[in-house]
Amino acid sequence: EVQLVESGGDLVQPGGSLRLSCAASGFTVSSNSMSWVRQAPGKGLEWVSIIFSGGNTYYADSVKGRFTISRDNSKNTVYLQINSLRAEDTAVYYCVRDPQPLSQGSLYYGMDVWGQGTTVTVSS
């Protein structure tokens, strides 16, 4: 069964750090692009970061310089290191399989596998 399971969410003080984990089963993360998407309480969805199968990484402007996405192929796991946490980072963080188009302008198949989410709360 294709599945993503996130962990690592917690209550953290402003300025603190966390590492979120996303363990995949049923497919290989290194062969796929993987994204993190977050949702603040009562709000919509916000794309946060992506790691491509080739290893390139990209970030939303709101998290650039504070968040780092990585993966451990031996553990089939994707990580999101979150530093310098702010109140506005409070959200449910979803790990998502995000297959990319084969070429520019070709079909995008959508974020087809989602984890259940892990909650990050930033508060003093």
Partner 1 sequence: EIVLTQSPGTLSLSPGERATLSCRTSQSDTGNSLAWYQQKPGQAPRLLIYGASSRATGIPDRFSGSGSGTDFTLTISRLEPEDFAVYYCHQFGSSLFGGGTKVEIK
Residues that bind partner 1 (CB under 8 A): 37, 44-47, 50, 60, 94, 101, 105-112, 114-117
67-72 and 77-82 beta bridge pairing: antiparallel
47 vs 42: CA distance, rounded Å: 16
Least distance in angstroms from the C-beta of 108 to partner 1: 4
Of residues 88, 98, 104, the one with CA closest to residue 51: 98
Least distance in angstroms from the C-beta of 69 to partner 1: 13
Least distance in angstroms from the C-beta of 52 to partner 1: 13
